[in-house]
């Protein structure tokens, strides 16, 4: 999927309002109600539950993200912040929960790789 702008890679459980789980953020089909203001995104299941992901640019590690709901995604930071004010500050205060990439322009590829030394047995890579 092509993104143009500042993006955040994280588990949506870190920014979704409690009242929006279910109808707003639907785990059955990984769709977000467009009335909430998040229009373009990637949201997927890890397939293994909770884990930690690594964000790569080519072979260079540029960040990490936590997964506590068994899912993660790529979202426009402006849309996330508009949906839930204070999100950016929260992520800046809690490094490792999300990777923010400013002024991103291009395709996002999500690649699953097996890692022997990873606690969960897998790591997830979002490769810009």
Rounded to two decimals, the pTM is 0.85
The region of weakest confidence among 33-42, 49-58, 115-124 is: 115-124
86's CB contacts (< 8 A; 6+ apart) are none
Q: How far apart are CA 24 and CA 59, in angstroms?
A: 36
Give the pLDDT mean for 78-85.
95
Query: For position 14, what pLDDT does the model report?
Result: 93
- pLDDT at position 123 over 60: no
Give the pLDDT mean for 61-78.
89
Pairing type for strands 122-127 and 51-57 reads: parallel
Q: DSSP code of 94?
A: S
- Asked if residue 51 lies in contact with residue 42, where contact means CB atoms within 8 angstroms, the answer is no
Query: For position 10, what pLDDT does the model report?
Result: 93
- Count of Cβ atoms closer than 10 Å to residue 3 Cβ: 19
Residue 102 pLDDT class (50, 70, 90 cuts): very high
- pLDDT at position 121 over 60: no
DSSP states of 31-70: EE-GGGS--SEEEEE-SSSSEEEEEEETTEEEEEEEESSS
Rounded to a whole number of angstroms, the distance between the first and last alpha carbons of the chain is 10
What tens digit of pLDDT does each residue of 4-29 get?
999 999 999 999 999 998 888 887 88
């Amino acid at each position: 999927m092509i993104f143009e702008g500042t993006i955040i890679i994280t588990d949506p459980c870190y920014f979704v309002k409690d009242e929006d789980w279910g109808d707003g953020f639907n785990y059955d089909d990984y769709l977000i109600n467009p009335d909430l203001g998040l229009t373009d995104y990637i949201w997927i299941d890890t397939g293994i539950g909770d884990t930690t992901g690594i964000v790569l640019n080519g072979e260079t590690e540029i960040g990490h993200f936590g997964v506590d709901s068994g899912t993660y995604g790529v979202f426009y930071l402006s849309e996330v912040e508009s949906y839930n004010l204070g999100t950016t500050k929260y992520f800046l205060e809690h490094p490792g929960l999300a990777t923010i990439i400013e002024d991103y322009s291009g395709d996002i590829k999500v690649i699953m790789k097996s890692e022997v030394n990873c606690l969960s047995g897998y790591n997830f890579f979002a490769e810009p």
